[in-house]
Amino acid sequence: MTMLSRVAERLYWTTRYLERAEDTARLIAAYNHLIMDLPRGNEPGWDILVRILDAEAQFYTRFRVPSEQNVLRFLIADGDSPSSIPHALRWARENVRTTRDVLPEDTWELVNELHLYAEEAAERSVGRRQRQQYLEEVVNRCQLINGLLASTLPRDHAYRFLKLGQLLERCDMTTRLIDVGVRELLGRDPHSLALQPPLWSALLQSLSALGAYRRMIAPVVDAEQAITFVFREPCLPRSVDFCLRGIREEIRPLHEPQAALAVVERARRKLARLNVEQMSPTQLQRYIDQFQGLLGELHAALSETWFRVRPQ
């Protein structure tokens, strides 16, 4: 099967943006639940969400104070913010609009309806009363679209580029969450150690991994075990290991996959060397920063190999 590079790129970004919207909604919902459960004065600030999404520069050009309302407005209602849910869904919609001929017929309708819902309901969902309903609706509709793509698309190049976008975005979000978790939680006052299980539980919840952790590891969440779990558990769909193996399988059938596969293998070798128990928080932060650099290299390799038009 042959495919235009611009079509491949738009399919790749379709699922990156859909995954970004879903992951952001999950993150906000999990943190919202956490804030309600922790004693007042012991919770991290709302700006932790901005740091996870690496959006501090963008946030502070719009707002002075990282209050609950400002952060939620930035992530839920600000369509001009690249980190917001409406922004991600607008660009997912635009990419679907230009690739409708290679997607299932219902894809456009579902993505367009989700985009319209996110824009219409965003402003009134900043407040606590309707926030959770909005976030759950975004997650459920994203899953509906992913289910449609997974159950109806032939396993051809169109499907492969959709999966590459989804898996790379998911892998990126997982590493971002753990990076900020390490910075914020492992360095907290020793007197607040009792708060670490609920804090790490919230991070796992934002990855839809809390139930799996409790079933496979232990009922009480331990920081080191949680980090190892979301990085190296081969059966967890949102783990780094699972995503890298999926990326490798989707790359292999493509034309000239050598450059991208080389980056994937470097990332997998680095993942195999992860030993959380023997790392200090500083060493772990450095490790995650280096790993995120590899994910950036992987995106660059995908772009260079399949998305750029080469001269004849």
Domains in the chain: how many in total? 1
**Does residue 312 lie in a domain region?**
no
Output the pLDDT for position 50: 94
Output the pLDDT for position 45: 83
Residues of the chain under the 70 pLDDT cut: 1-2, 38-39, 41-43, 185-195, 309-312
**Does residue 235 lie in a domain region?**
yes
**Does residue 116 lie in a domain region?**
yes
pTM equals: 0.93
**Residue indicated by tokens 């590459």:** 164
CB 257 within 8 A of CB 251: yes
**Does residue 259 lie in a domain region?**
yes
Q: pLDDT digit string (tens) for 58-80?
A: 999 999 999 999 999 999 999 88
Output the pLDDT for position 199: 82
**Does residue 228 lie in a domain region?**
yes
**Does residue 133 lie in a domain region?**
yes
**Does residue 148 lie in a domain region?**
yes
**Does residue 20 lie in a domain region?**
yes
Output the pLDDT for position 188: 54
Could you list the residue range(s) of the whole structural domain that residue 77 is in? 5-307
Output the pLDDT for position 311: 47
Instruction: Supply the DSSP string of the chain, one letter for each residue.
Output: ----HHHHHHHHHHHHHHHHHHHHHHHHHHHHHHHHHSPTTSSPPTHHHHHHTT-HHHHHHH-SS--HHHHHIIIII-TT-TTSHHHHHHHHHHHHHTTGGGS-HHHHHHHHHHHHHHHHHHGGGSSHHHHHHHHHHHHHHHHHHHHHHHHHS-SSHHHHHHHHHHHHHHHHHHHHHHHHHHHHHTTS-GGGGGGHHHHHHHHHHHTT-HHHHHHHT-SS--HHHHHHHHHH-TT-TTSHHHHHHHHHHHHTTSSS-HHHHHHHHHHHHHHHT--GGG--HHHHHHHHHHHHHHHHHHHHHHIIIIISPPP-
Output the pLDDT for position 41: 66
